[in-house]
Structure 1
Amino acid sequence: MLPERKQVLIVDDEPNLRKILSAQLSRDGYDVLTAEDGEQGLQLLREHHIDLVVTDLKMPKVDGMTLLREALREDPDLPIVMITAHGTVDTAVEALKLGAFDYLTKPFDKDEVRQIVAKALKTRQLAGEEASPTEPGAGARFGIIGSSPGLTELYAVLERVADTPTTVLITGESGTGKELVARALHDHSSRKDKPFIKVNCAAIPKELIESELFGYERGAFTGAVTSKPGRFELAGGGTLFLDEIGEIPVEMQVKLLRALQESEFERVGGIKTIRVDVRLVAATNRDLEKLIAHGSFRKDLFYRLNVVGIRLPALRERATDIPLLIEHFLAKFNERLKKSVVGVEPEAMDLLTTYSWPGNIRELENVVERAVLFSDVPRLRVQDLPPELRSGSPSVSPVPMAEADLQAALSSEGGMKEHVKVAMSRLERELVSRALLQTGGNVTHAARLLKISRKGLQLKMKELGLREGAGGAGEKGE
């Protein structure tokens, strides 16, 4: 399979710090790119598929805050970790309120770096399973696209509860857009100019969840070389969004309940009580009532969270919205991929609207992106869709093979694993070749389209016998 090594971008004007961080992250198994200032960092972001950015605050040309704003404008789910000195911690905290994932205070140790990087990449991975935020446009209300009965009910609830302090619990399958609804609640309230802080509870190790939510004081545990505010403090005056709330361990649920009821808490290792004004929105794709029955979720916390419950319908329950969503995604990927796909053939649209979509909106978005990437015609056709859609089944479908090849495989001596390996190699070769063709043989841009690192693509090209060079997508190498 195509390599899936995560790609980390380090942006810092100190050569020694770039060298140290790069060496550590490379040893930890990441592909690392480095930039000496924010301007170079932004250029690398445009050229590569970056999974995580670690950037200094103070840099020439383009500073860390500008880099943060520009990067999040391009990719709202991109985790960005700020590097700060003691004198600029307040600026780093401000960066968190603007959407940075976390910050590191110099001097930092390798375990702290390792923890934050792992946590950030796990959050990025989980975000990839949810529907991504979209911009309001035709047919959109609250920044949400659709006019089906289920969404009409959702709009009515949002109109009533958005500008209130009421706690909201959003439930629904992965990929239905729970974060989008949480953002709508915040953006249409009087808190919209205050921070919107999100935490994916499933991405935080259980032993770190308390310090993540409530912060910690210096010396509270090994590695706590400075004091650090938690997400409740960062969200002061604004909204705290706790995604995957069902993953919080039972022993932490008591402390969370107290923070919600009393609007106060103490940092880990601290004695000072901190009061906050925070509107909490929680979300889960799990059945909390079943967790309560199993003893892994507190009933009193559930009642405190579920003051207003919003259930998001699965995409298969709102099939009439699929054409609108496809129209939005076509416009998005035409711009990003420099294509001009104007629509979908009726037969292909029939398949798209009748498919069960187990991955919901996120799956639909991925399908449209891949179809636009590899389409050479103005309207998407049935053959541009993946096999599972053409078969109408979400289950694993065989890699398409010519009838003669299939009969040869069945009659040969090789086992199933060998045939699958050959078929996967053929599919990989097609994907890589078409990405290279689409980008005029530019390996850097092809790697970005395939969402792998440049180094990973070069290794795969060597393995498949594809030569690097403009227009050489299908040519044999040495």
Structure 2
Amino acid sequence: MSDKILIIDDEAGIRSSLKGILEDEGFTVTAVPSAEEGLSLLKRENFDIILLDIWLEGLDGLEALKRIKQDEENVQIIMITGHGSIETAVKAIKLGAYDFLEKPLSLEKVVVTVKNALNQKRLEEENIILRSKFRQKYQKLVGVSSAIKELKKKIAQAASTKASVVIYGESGTGKELVARLIHQQSNRKNKKFIHINLAAIPEHLLHRELFGYVKGAFPEATTDKKGKILLANGGTIFLDEISEIDAPLQLKLLQLLEEGTIEPEGSLESIPVDVRIIATSQINLTTQVAAKKFREDLFFKLNVLPIVIPPLRERKEDIPLLIDYYLDYFSLELGKKKKTMTPAAKEAFMNYSWPGNISELINVIERFVIMVPEEEIKPAHLSLLVEPREFQLIPRSTQALSLKEATRHFEKEYIHRLLMTNGWEINKTAQELQLSPGELKKKIKSLGIRMAD
């Protein structure tokens, strides 16, 4: 299939000459005289390159450029400008245009610029694919716990059907990852996956964000805008925090699930949509239904395949694997030397409750990779980045020891951590411990504290 080019220029002679020379080069070319016609065409067709005149009657080229880039980030746009408007052309480059051509046009330069723009588009697409493959390599559930094994089974079951899914779990448990895995394993994997956080958008804007609107629907609606649901047509729409939506929006979602149609704001027509809904909730929707805050009929339509993700504290046996996995990931992602973590440091991670779940653990690991200069992360490093009280420094294997032995272990860890914080300054550390420098040195020796620990 040949590459598709759209020409938007109000001069018939320019449209004709550009169309002719580019078709001779083997491109499929469409030409229209106004930005409005071009934007309307872009709602129905995809193009690889757009040649866009800056000075157009009605909607000008710069405004058209902004609107096109909002919906079609990867399309390459070449601006056409007259003499004396170089400053405007530079502004267009800043807004996302690939390049600009000056009138009178050199047809030879047009062909070269178009081919260069296509090469740039392909490079960007290849980069997106490579980054996507890299992220997908690290976009999987990690663990050996029975909870993770069961979760993987449910993901496979959900992926084999187009039924709606509600994913339940505390904040940070990985609900979006589970949703993406369902999408990637389904027959919709080559279509769009669009994520929208329902709780983060004001109610009066959320309807427009999801369902879109038509020109004239309200004073600021100067052109049609597709909603997220229509943009996800054929793919998956991921509705984060479904329990937060109001009654009118619940009714519109029910219409989508029952009839497979949506109505943009201001439109009298229903648009057919084929989209799979995956939703999330931190609370059980049955309680919302009982409290009359969530429609029962919508609940039954959405909650066909409920999936519950356990908090990290209930699957601590997975933590060592998660540590190694994300140390590897961030070392590659950030271009750092690969880091490892000592068993003692992993033990401290195991003893922590992780109220922020996987998200918190990932954040801590990323900070370690960035901020710890050594290649091995030790217990002493934990106090540099995390509040000391957050990690229990006495390993579980020693918790059954005598009080004397446990006290010795704690004293050793506490003094070592304080020395690390103070850069191994004996006098300063001794003062904070209310000891003499000589007494501190004796303790360091008797407890076997070493700088390398």
Aligning the two structures, in what range does the TM-score lie when normalised by the shorter sequence? 0.5 to 0.7
Any idea what the Cα deviations from partners look like across 1:403-448, whole Å, max 9, x if unmatched? 969989xxxxxxxxxxxxxxxxxxxxxxxxxxxxxxxxxxxxxxxx
Name which of 389, 392, 412 aligns with 1:391.
389
Give 2:330's aligned amino acid: F
Any idea what the Cα deviations from partners look like across 1:204-235, whole Å, max 9, x if unmatched? 22101111111111000121111111122112
Mapped partners of 1:196, 1:383: distance in 2: 42
Q: Which has the larger radius of gyration?
A: 2
Name which of 328, 332, 336 aligns with 1:331.
328
TM-score by structure 1 length?
0.55
Whether 2:236 is the aligned partner of 1:239: answer yes
Cα RMSD between the aligned structures?
3.6
Mapped partners of 2:192, 2:146: distance in 1: 32
Structure 1 residues 238 and 215, CA gap change in structure 2 (3 angstroms): same
Mapped partners of 2:296, 2:388: distance in 1: 44
Structure 1 residues 211 and 71, CA gap change in structure 2 (3 angstroms): farther
Whether 2:343 is the aligned partner of 1:349: answer no
Structure 1 residues 223 and 166, CA gap change in structure 2 (3 angstroms): same
Mapped partners of 2:345, 2:136: distance in 1: 25
Mapped partners of 2:363, 2:180: distance in 1: 22
Q: How far is 1:68 from its partner?
A: 7.0
Mapped partners of 2:96, 2:145: distance in 1: 46
Structure 1 residues 226 and 308, CA gap change in structure 2 (3 angstroms): same
Q: How far is 1:389 from its partner?
A: 6.2
- Give SS of 1:282's match: strand
Whether 2:188 is the aligned partner of 1:188: answer no
Whether 2:217 is the aligned partner of 1:223: answer no
Q: How far is 1:287 from its partner?
A: 3.5
Map 1:17-32 → 2, pairs under 5 A: none
CA contact (8 A) 1:351 1:390 kept: no
Structure 1: tracts of 5 or more residues without a match: 1-12, 22-36, 39-53, 77-132, 409-478
Mapped partners of 2:204, 2:262: distance in 1: 18
CA contact (8 A) 2:285 2:299 kept: yes
Give 1:56's aligned amino acid: G
Structure 1 residues 67 and 208, CA gap change in structure 2 (3 angstroms): farther
- Give SS of 2:271's match: strand
TM-score by structure 2 length?
0.58
Mapped partners of 1:389, 1:322: distance in 2: 19
Q: What's the counterpart of residue 465 of structure 1?
A: none
Mapped partners of 2:430, 2:367: distance in 1: 26
Structure 1 residues 339 and 194, CA gap change in structure 2 (3 angstroms): closer
Mapped partners of 2:310, 2:327: distance in 1: 23
Give 1:391's aligned amino acid: R
Q: How far is 1:66 from its partner?
A: 6.5
Structure 1 residues 59 and 71, CA gap change in structure 2 (3 angstroms): farther
Percent identity over the alignment?
Answer: 39
Mapped partners of 1:206, 1:75: distance in 2: 34
Q: How far is 1:348 from its partner?
A: 0.4
Structure 1 residues 205 and 351, CA gap change in structure 2 (3 angstroms): same
Larger RCO (CA within 8 A; separation ≥ 6): 1
Map 1:185-334 → 2, pairs under 5 A: 185-334=182-331
Map 1:59-74 → 2, pairs under 5 A: 59=99, 69=125
Mapped partners of 1:390, 1:134: distance in 2: 32
Give 1:269's aligned amino acid: G
Whether 2:159 is the aligned partner of 1:162: answer yes
Structure 1 residues 393 and 292, CA gap change in structure 2 (3 angstroms): farther
Mapped partners of 2:362, 2:237: distance in 1: 27
Structure 2: tracts of 5 or more residues without a match: 1-51, 55-61, 64-75, 78-93, 101-115, 393-416, 433-453
